[in-house]
Amino acid sequence: MNKFVHLAIILVAAFIFFRFLMGYFAPFLIGLAIALLLEPVVRFLVERGGFKRGLASFLALLFLTTAGAGLGFWGLRALYRQAVEFLAAAPNYIAALQEWLAAYPFIPTVGLLNWAGEWLSGQSIRAVGFVPGMLIGLLLVLISAFFFSRDKALIYALFEKFCPDWLAQYAKPVGVRLHQAASGFLKTEFILIALVSAICIVALWMLKSPYAILLGLVIAVFDSLPIVGSGLILWPWAAYLAFTGNINQTAGLLVLYGIIMVVRNFLGPRILGDQIGMHPLAAVMAIFIGIKAFGAAGLLVGPALVIVGTVVLEEQS
C-alpha cells in the first residue's frame, strides 16, 4: 500500500475513534498524556537517582498531584475570600437589579427571578451529582498514568508485537511529533491564560471592580474553554452596565473583550504555531475544522491529525 492509502486508513480510523469512542477512553488517554509529559522526570530519577522505574513513576506522579493540589488549594482559598465578599454584597446587587427591572414593567420580574432561582438550583444539583463521576475519572487518570509510566517498556513491546509493520514504521516519528506538539500546546495555553489573566486583572482594577482578581482568573479560564469564551461573562455584564447608565465601565468592558479577542485569535495561533512547528494559518484551520468535526475535543484532535498526516507523507517522500 502506498502512503496515501496508509494516510486514508489512519485518518478514517482516527475519525471513528474520536467521533464515537473518545468518551470511553478519555481518562486513559489523559493518563497516557500525563505519563509522556512526566517521562523526562522519571528518566532522570532512574538514571541519575538510581530509583526503580515503578518508584520513580510514583514519585513523579505524587509530585505532580501534590503541586496541583497545592495550586488548587491556593486558588480556591483566594476564590473563597472574594466569593464571601461577593455574597455579603449580593443583597445590594439584587436590590439594584430589582430596582432596574421595576423601570421596565413589560418584563415579567417575578417570573424572571423565579426562573433564575430554579435554574441556579438545578445547576447546583447537577454540579453536586457531577462530583462523584469527576472524582472517579480523576482516579482513573492517575492510576492509568502510573501504569503507563511504570510499564512503558512492556507496553511498547506489546505494541511492536501486534502492530502491523506498515503502521509501526510511522509510530515512532508520529509519537515524537505528537509529544512535542502536546508540550507546545500546554506551554501555549499557560502563556495565554497567564497573559489574559494579567490583562483582565489590570483592566478590572482600573475599572474599580472589587473582585478584580477573582473575575480576572474566571474570565481567563472561560476564555481558554473552546466554544465558551470570555464573552459569556463580559457581554451580559456590559449589557447590564449599559442599561444602568454606567457608560464608561461598559466601554471599558467592551475594550477589554476586544483586547482578549486580539490576544486569543491573533497572538494565540502564532504562539501555538511556533510551539508545535505549524504555520499559524494551518493551526487555525486545524482547530476550526477539528471543533466542527469533533466538538470541544477537536481543539486538540484537529492539530494532532494534521501532524499525523504530515509525518505519514514525509516518511515515504
Show me where the domains of the chain are located. 1-17+24-162, 168-317
Per-residue pLDDT, averaged over 219-245, amounts to: 80
Mean pLDDT: which of 74-83, 87-96, 148-157 is highest? 148-157
Per-residue pLDDT, averaged over 250-274, amounts to: 85
Per-residue pLDDT, averaged over 46-73, amounts to: 87
Q: How far apart are CA 221 and CA 276, in angstroms?
A: 22
75 Cβ neighbours under 8 A, 6+ residues apart: 217
pLDDT at residue 185 greater than cutoff 90 = no
Q: How far apart are CA 197 and CA 222, in angstroms?
A: 11
- On whether the CB atoms of residues 194 and 221 are closer than 8 A, the answer is no
Per-residue pLDDT, averaged over 38-42, amounts to: 89
Q: Which three cell numbers stand for residue 123?
A: 445547576
101 Cβ neighbours under 8 A, 6+ residues apart: 107, 109, 112
Burial 152-161 (b: 16+ CB within 10 A, else e): beeeeeeeee
Confidence (pLDDT) at 214: 78
pLDDT band, very low/low/confident/very high, at 118 (cuts 50, 70, 90): low
Give the model confidence (pLDDT) of 190-201 as tens digits: 888 899 999 999
Confidence (pLDDT) at 229: 78
Confidence (pLDDT) at 56: 92
